[in-house]
Amino acid sequence: MADVMQEPLSEELSNVTVGTPTVIVDDLHIVYKVYGAANKKGNAANALSRIVRRQGRPEMKEVHAVRGVSFVANHGEAIGIIGRNGSGKSTLLRAIAGLLPAHKGAVYTNGQPSLLGVNAALMKELTGERNIVLGCYAMGMSPTETREKYDEIVDFSGIGDFIQFPMSTYSSGMGARLRFAISSAKTHDVLLIDEALATGDREFKKKSKDRIMQMRESAGTVFLVAHNLDVIEETCNRVIWLHKGKIKMEGDPQEVLGAYNRV
């Protein structure tokens, strides 16, 4: 049988150079603790009696979000991850990004995968201009790089004069566009996108799709989590269907999406 490197890609994307693996996920298990999931009344007397009886906090629960997932992602691939709410999609992305520790198994990566998550660093009280600078620095860009990319980001976001207003005045679509524009300004080897393309109008969706394609061609790897299956069908060459933390199906987008839609 063929080597892993010659893993067949779907026909329409065969022009993309298939490179070496960039991300290897090996029997990954993720368990995390959740606070504040109490069903009992959370009053002070209860808390005191727990301390006296030396019980742990009952509102702390363990969630086994990812249960033994393995796959190999190569250069130039765009992998869509689908599944119902709570199937472990976002957790898997965070684990690939190295932001959650593996309970068992491992994630091996080439370089530093980055989650398209710059919005956490932005401040809605500040203007778009300031947020662009702040976001670029948060991703580790230098002032020179930031200045070079600044106009491109403004252009790409397409929000025009609103760039001088605080982000709190933006519509949700405008905010999403600016965030995507900022986070895609940096070249990433492995980019993880979690539901970032859900908002935005038609034109912006097309632009962001082109951007993802462009990244694939420059031999990066893109992971995309979305509930909007059209986006996945149009941009991805492989789809992983997660169900209750396990891979239910994996492969060609049309087949997997077809099976997913029948459920």
Partner 1 sequence: MSQPESAVADAQAGGRAQESLAALAERYGLRRAIARPSLPAYLRQLWDRRHFIVTYATSKNVSNYSTSALGQLWQVLTPLLNAAVYWLMFGVILAQSKHIQNYPAFLITGVMVFTFTQRTVTGGAKSISGNLSLIRALHFPRATLPLAYAIQELQVLGWSMGVLIVLVLVTGEPISWLWLLIPVALVLQFVFNLGASLFMARIGAFVRDINQLLPFILRTWLYASGVFYMITERTAGLPSALRWALEFNPAAAYIEFMRDLLIYQRFPERWAWVTCTFWAVFAVIGGFWYFWRAEERYGRG
- Neighbour count for residue 118 (Cβ, 10 Å): 25
Nearer to partner 1, 115 or 215 (CB): 115
Count CB atoms within 10 A of the CB of residue 132.
Answer: 24
If one asks whether residue 140 binds partner 1 (CB under 8 A), the answer comes out as yes
Nearer to partner 1, 33 or 227 (CB): 33
In the region spanning residues 195 to 254, those forming contacts with partner 1, defined by CB under 8 A, are: 246-252
Residue type for position 37: A
CB 159 within 8 A of CB 174: yes
The answer to the question of residue 52 lying near partner 1 (CB under 8 A) is: no
Cβ at position 81, least distance to partner 1 in Å = 14
CA–CA dist 219, 22 (Å, integer): 10
Can residue 119 be called a binding residue for partner 1 (CB under 8 A)?
yes
Which residues are paired to 251 by β-bridges?
Answer: 239
Q: What residues contact residue 85 under an 8 Å CB cut-off, 6+ apart?
A: none
In terms of Cα–Cα distance, which of 225, 235, 237, 229 is closest to 257? Answer: 229
Q: Give the interface size with partner 1 as a residue count (CB under 8 A).
A: 67
Place of tokens 């760039």: 163
| Residue from 137, 150, 162, 165 in contact with partner 1 (CB under 8 A) | 137
Selected binder of partner 1 within 78, 82, 114, 231 (CB under 8 A):
114
Nearer to partner 1, 26 or 233 (CB): 26
β-partners of residue 82 are: 241
Closer to partner 1 by Cβ: residue 22 or 235: 22
DSSP state of 18: P
Within 10 A of 23 (CB to CB), how many other CB atoms are there?
22
Q: Whole-angstrom Cα distance, residue 29 to residue 245? A: 9
| Residue 45 makes contact with partner 1 by CB under 8 A | no
Site string for partner 1, 153-182 (x = CB under 8 A): -------------x----------------
Is 34 or 230 the residue whose CB approaches partner 1 more closely?
A: 34
Rounded-to-integer distance, Cα 177 and Cα 126, Å: 16
Nearer to partner 1, 37 or 123 (CB): 123
Binding site for partner 1 (CB under 8 A): 1-4, 7-8, 20-27, 32-33, 35, 68-72, 94, 96-102, 106-110, 112-115, 117-121, 123, 125-126, 130, 133-134, 137-140, 142-143, 166, 246-252, 255-256, 259
